[in-house]
């Protein structure tokens, strides 16, 4: 409890830490004194936006009685959320997207009944302050300001507290407020996973490489442009015409407007690329791989994959078989033409965020917050996300001033 006392400035932590929240009674057994501690109900609950079923925006429900997160493993920390970031996957998950795979990840032995994931808390980015550390956590301490991308199988950040593994978190960049910091982790770790782990890029091999980003003006695109430019790559992006100034301001060298006609033709007239990051998917796969330099190790990495959709439609076993067959067939088909076809996925990573934090503090990457909502406006934030045409990220500021009523 000493750690908690450090944070007494916070209203909720105050509830958690002050002695009135703990009832202590004394029992005498022979000559020995034994203390019994019981916890009052108010420290086991917190305010949060939850869903109790999948559906449209009307399933979002505010409650002051969400379960307070607990440290289950010794490498976990509890974070007091200052700001939360939303991503397209939150809108998808609200409607049930990925429910089969995510349920399996939460409950691999299938011990729980259907629907045990509810009440489910959405929100994939967090920036906040560590309130409590598990016994094995050495690298972080209480009161550290941290940021993290929350895996979709864990409870999210649209709540006052969230519990995460210490491997998933990182110290927040000093240059950013919590609101700004909450715009980065999920898209940053997704870009890192796609470009570095899958695409094989790094700050040491990127100089002068020609990269094409399909869909450059959204959350992932705006982060990827900045990271690749910081590493010295030449970056071409596709986006709508009214986003051109925006992506150029982030560093894009060449911009192709997809709203004024098919982009294949203008892109095919350019020098070929070393890597393509596809944030759009669908038809793009038909022509994009012809834009790569053949027989040079060039890669096409798409973030729009049917993996979760397959398991939702076909069940875990058949969905995974179908997914494996699809990706293997496509990879082979393109390999004989001298280019690599890959699927990219989000992967939580504290170490990747450590490096990104350094880039932010060095002024190489800035937060692109499209719009900020208060905690009471979460349904509006989802409505806005559903309309699409993002120019960066949607952030929910969870401040002490909110009265949660």
Ligand X SMILES: NC(=O)c1ccc[n+]([C@@H]2O[C@H](COP(=O)([O-])OP(=O)(O)OC[C@H]3O[C@@H](n4cnc5c(N)ncnc54)[C@H](OP(=O)(O)O)[C@@H]3O)[C@@H](O)[C@H]2O)c1
**Residues of the shown chain interacting with ligand X in the complex, contacts defined by CB under 6 A:** 87-89, 187, 190, 214-215, 217-221, 238-240, 243, 258, 279-280, 303-305, 344-346, 388-390
For residue 119, report the phi and psi dihedrals to the nearest 5 degrees: -70, 130
Rounded CA-CA distance 22/82 in Å is: 26
CB of residue 324 to ligand X, shortest distance in Å: 16
The residues, ordered by sequence, that sit 6+ positions from 387 with a Cβ below 8 Å of its Cβ are: none
State which residue, 201 or 256, has the beta carbon closest to ligand X. 256
State which residue, 17 or 236, has the beta carbon closest to ligand X. 236
CB of residue 103 to ligand X, shortest distance in Å: 17
Rounded CA-CA distance 109/222 in Å is: 39
SS3 14: helix
CB of residue 296 to ligand X, shortest distance in Å: 25
Residues 17/8, Cβ–Cβ less than 8 Å? yes
State which residue, 71 or 320, has the beta carbon closest to ligand X. 320
Token pair for residue 131? 């309130």
CB of residue 190 to ligand X, shortest distance in Å: 4
State which residue, 80 or 391, has the beta carbon closest to ligand X. 391
State which residue, 123 or 219, has the beta carbon closest to ligand X. 219
For the beta carbon of residue 287, count every other beta carbon within 10 angstroms.
Answer: 14
SS3 242: helix
Nearest to 124 by CA among 102, 147, 145, 142: 147
Torsion of CA 116, 103, 314, 284, to 10 degrees: 130
Q: Which residue is nearest to ligand X (CB)?
A: 218
State which residue, 91 or 159, has the beta carbon closest to ligand X. 91
SS3 308: helix
State which residue, 34 or 387, has the beta carbon closest to ligand X. 387
State which residue, 108 or 388, has the beta carbon closest to ligand X. 388
- 309 vs 89, 316, 319, CA distance in Å? 12, 10, 8
For the beta carbon of residue 257, count every other beta carbon within 10 angstroms.
Answer: 15
CB of residue 227 to ligand X, shortest distance in Å: 13
Q: What is the DSSP-derived secondary structure letter of residue 193?
A: I
Rounded CA-CA distance 255/237 in Å is: 5
Nearest to 184 by CA among 361, 387, 329, 47: 361
CB of residue 150 to ligand X, shortest distance in Å: 13
What's the N-to-C CA distance of the chain in angstroms?
A: 28
State which residue, 65 or 305, has the beta carbon closest to ligand X. 305
CB of residue 388 to ligand X, shortest distance in Å: 6
Strands 169-171, 145-149: pairing is antiparallel
CB of residue 89 to ligand X, shortest distance in Å: 6
CB of residue 214 to ligand X, shortest distance in Å: 6
């Amino acid at each position: 409890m000493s750690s908690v006392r450090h944070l007494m400035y916070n209203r909720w932590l105050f509830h958690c830490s002050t002695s009135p929240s703990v009832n202590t009674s004394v029992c005498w057994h022979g000559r020995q004194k034994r203390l019994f501690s019981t916890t009052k109900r108010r420290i086991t609950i917190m305010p949060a936006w939850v869903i109790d079923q999948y559906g449209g925006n009307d399933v979002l429900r505010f409650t002051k009685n969400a379960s307070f997160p607990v440290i289950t493993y010794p490498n976990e920390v509890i974070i007091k959320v200052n700001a939360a970031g939303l991503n397209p996957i939150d809108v998808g998950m609200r409607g049930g997207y990925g429910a089969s795979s995510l349920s399996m990840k939460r409950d691999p032995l299938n011990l729980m009944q259907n629907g045990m994931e509810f009440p489910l808390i959405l929100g994939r980015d967090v920036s906040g302050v560590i309130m409590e550390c598990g016994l094995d956590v050495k690298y972080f301490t209480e009161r550290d300001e941290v940021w993290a991308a929350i895996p979709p199988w864990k409870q999210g950040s649209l709540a006052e507290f969230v519990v995460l593994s210490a491997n998933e978190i990182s110290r927040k960049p000093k240059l950013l407020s919590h609101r700004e910091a909450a715009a980065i982790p999920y898209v940053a770790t997704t870009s890192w996973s796609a470009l570095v782990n899958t695409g094989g890029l790094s700050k040491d091999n990127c100089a002068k490489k020609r990269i094409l980003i399909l869909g450059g003006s959204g959350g992932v695109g705006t982060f990827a442009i900045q990271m690749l430019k910081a590493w010295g790559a030449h970056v071409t992006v596709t986006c709508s015409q009214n986003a051109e100034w925006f992506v150029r301001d982030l560093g894009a060298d060449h911009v192709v407007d997809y709203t004024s006609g098919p982009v294949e033709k203008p892109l095919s007239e350019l020098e070929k690329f070393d890597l393509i990051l596809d944030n759009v998917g669908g038809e793009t796969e038909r022509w994009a791989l012809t834009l790569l330099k053949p027989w040079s190790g060039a890669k096409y990495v798409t973030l729009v994959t049917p993996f979760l959709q397959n398991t939702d439609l076909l069940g875990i076993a058949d969905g995974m078989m179908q997914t494996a067959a699809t990706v293997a067939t496509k990879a082979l088909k393109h390999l004989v033409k001298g280019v690599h076809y890959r699927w990219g996925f989000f992967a939580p990573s504290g170490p990747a965020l450590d490096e990104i934090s350094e880039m932010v503090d060095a002024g190489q990457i800035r937060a692109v917050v499209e719009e900020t909502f208060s905690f009471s406006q979460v349904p509006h934030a989802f409505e806005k996300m559903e309309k699409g045409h993002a120019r960066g990220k949607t952030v929910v500021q969870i401040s002490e001033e909110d009265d949660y009523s």
